[in-house]
Chains A and B, each alone.
Chain A
Amino acid sequence: MSHVQPLEKGIILSIENLSISFGGIKAVDNLSFQIKEKEIFGLIGPNGAGKTTAFNCITQFYKPNHGSIRFLSKKDVTVELNEHAVHEIIGLGLVRTFQNVELIRELSILDNVLVGAHIDYKTGLFGAMVKTRKAKKEEESLRLEAMKILQFLGIADKAMWPVGGQPYGILKKVELARTLMCAPRLIILDEPAAGLNDVETLGLADVIRTIRNEYNCAVLLVEHDMRLVMDVCDTICAINFGKFLAKGSPKEIKLNKDVQVAYLGTQEDQV
């Protein structure tokens, strides 16, 4: 048995009293929230509220100063993410995108998506060098899977193009496609609509919902575009200065006084 307290039924991620500071600035301050299976969960807050930092703690790019992050892994075992190295997180079933798209410019779109399947490869160094029949087969089947995902996102025709020089909308889709290769339980999206135009943003809402339904996974997203958040999220958590502010359905968050003061009040006239 694991020493980690099992998560309640139906919960996939539980963050308790998460804190991290950078030289006196409390970027995340005693933050707690829970995400249910197959839920689309939005984390909102003004610029600098600590959303990206919270994501970096969950995915172990930063080691938090305090708090626990429990996750229901692919094997249906509750794990404490803080006990894992950053490269082990994807294997547990948790995968992310980045606010400032992180792709490999020189590789093709297809190859970038295949990087997301890295942990699925069984071929070793020798097999890769001499290109054994097994290695060839494995590569072909994962290539096919990647092509299916690109088709689903509507960019299969560009599969062989290098990533460098593609428009932002395409790059965002490639990053999204890369997260789908590992059959994730929870996908974390950091501002997926940033830089997209209105039409693309509308399409993104559909894509996120379809991903949840087709891939049977939960989605945690940070977004500035309030229309997208209100449209697509089941539950929203608002934070400010790293601290918890409010949590509820999109409607409840819209009506919440604290949120209005901290965030919506200053944003509404722009929207």
Chain B
Amino acid sequence: MKKLLAQIKAYPYTKYILLGLVLATIPSLVYFDVLKSSYVTLVGVVMIYTIVSLGLNLLLGWSGLISLGTAGFMGLAAYISAYMTMNLKMPFEVTLIVSILIPVAISVLVGLISLRIEGLYLAIATLAVSEIFRKTFAEFEFITNGFSGKSVRYPTFFGFFKLDTTMTYLLLVVFMVVIMILIHNLINSHVGRALNAMRGSEAAAQAMGINLLKYRLLAFALATALTSTAGILYAHFIKYVEPSKWNLGLSLNILAVIIIGGVRSIIGTFVGSLVVFAVPDLVLKQIPYFGKIPNFAYIINGILIIVVILYYPAGLIRVFNDGKDAVVKLFKKSRGKTV
């Protein structure tokens, strides 16, 4: 146990890869009837929301900027990729790039307008833009199919390599682990320090040569790129996009992910996503009587947020770390006795 912990410290990517390997076993567990087949969809969705939430964590946790339009940008990317693959018959590879670039370009424009004076204006601007997107999804029927929603297929690579449910699920695992590693590197680099400085002290950041507008834009663009990636993966994994999904409620749920799971923690973001997007289906709905209360999950999330802010302001991931420390201490003690 101790050896493993030391190893995780020496090779920082180990924990992300381990998590990926564990998640990759789920389809085979379903195959051997250990788990219900709905678990693949459920965990897949958790991974997709982990990717969005990592983007928001980069923005809010590390850079100290607030966006309330996460869902709108995610929906935009989902619709663009749906339209490009289904209507325009474009290859998935091209779709992936274009469906990231368009939302990112829009986010840079929104950022240029709102981020000049103060970071706080971003919250208002993104909320407005997100609502415009939502109206657009419903109104532009020739592209979005309106309220009937739009069907999408699993991704096809190189024009002939069609993925099935399991393969698409594994694609999600790869995307999430790679993104976790890229973010890990980023936040431990000078760029990450610049984002931290921007949050910690704008005065110090500026005095040390950090261009606030540039790094605010960078943080927002990166967050949007991750949001878009998640939107695209969502469309092609769930194979259906509907306009009503991308509302403020979803944006706030994604906010809840990082507050519950762990501000500025990569693994914590996954934990938060699990709590917010899987626990309601897995646990809450099974509870007799209470499970039938509409929006019961919202209530539980609200209570969780309050508890976490009061007792674990760094997120539930701290619970694990405390547990880990306790185990290590116990181990040390027992070893001390035998010597």
Q: Chain A interface (Cβ within 8 Å of chain B)?
A: 59, 61, 85-91, 95-96, 98, 102-107, 111, 114-119, 121, 123, 125, 128-131, 135, 139, 178, 182
Contacts and interface: CB of A to CB of B under 8 A. Distances in A.
B144 interface: no
Contact of A87 (B182, B190, B200, B212): B212
A228 to B, nearest CB: 22
A115 B197 contact: yes
Interface of B: 182-183, 185-186, 189-194, 196-197, 199-201, 203-212, 218, 264
A115 B208 contact: yes
Given A129-B182, A129-B186, A104 B204 contact: yes
Given A87-B212, A106-B196, A128 B186 contact: yes
Could you say which of B182, B192, B201, B207 has the most chain A C-beta atoms within 10 Å of its C-beta?
Answer: B207
Which of B182, B200, B209, B212 counts the most A-chain CB atoms under 10 A from its CB? Answer: B209
Given A104-B196, A106-B196, A106-B264, A123 B190 contact: yes
Most chain A beta-carbon neighbours within 10 Å: one of B193, B196, B205: B193
A135 B193 CA distance: 14
Nearest to B192: A128
Contacts of B199: 104
Contact of A111 (B193, B201, B209): B193
B200 A105 contact: yes
A184 B129 CA distance: 44
B190 A104 contact: no
B169 to A, nearest CB: 25
Contacts of B193: 104, 107, 111, 114-115, 118
B198 to A, nearest CB: 9
Contacts of A116: 208
Given A106-B196, A106-B200, A61 B206 contact: yes
Contacts of B264: 106
B204 A125 contact: no
B182 A91 contact: no
A104 B203 contact: no
Contact of A118 (B183, B209, B218): B209
B190 A114 contact: yes
Contact of B210 (A87, A96, A102, A135): A87
Given A90-B208, A115-B197, A139-B189, 10 more contacts: A91-B209, A103-B200, A104-B201, A107-B196, A115-B193, A118-B193, A128-B185, A128-B191, A139-B190, A182-B209
B206 A98 contact: no
B194 to A, nearest CB: 6
B119 to A, nearest CB: 16
Contacts of A128: 185-186, 189-192
Contacts of A61: 203, 206-207
Nearest to B214: A87
Contacts of A121: 190
Contact of B204 (A91, A102, A106, A135): A102
A182 B207 CA distance: 11
8 contacts: A87-B212, A103-B200, A104-B201, A114-B190, A115-B194, A118-B190, A130-B182, A135-B189
A102 B209 contact: no
Given A115-B194, A117-B190, A139-B190, A107 B208 contact: no
7 smallest A-B Cβ distances: which pairs? A104-B200, A128-B189, A102-B204, A119-B209, A102-B201, A90-B209, A121-B190
A264 to B, nearest CB: 31
A174 to B, nearest CB: 11
A98 B143 CA distance: 55
Given A121-B190, A125-B218, A88 B200 contact: no
Contacts of B197: 104, 115, 118
A115 to B, nearest CB: 5
A85 B211 CA distance: 9
Nearest to B198: A104
A92 to B, nearest CB: 10
B203 A102 contact: yes
A95 B207 contact: yes
Contacts of A178: 204, 208
Contacts of B212: 87
Contacts of A98: 203-204, 207
Nearest to A114: B193
Given A88-B209, A106-B196, A115 B185 contact: no
Nearest to A125: B191
Nearest to B212: A87
A118 B191 CA distance: 8
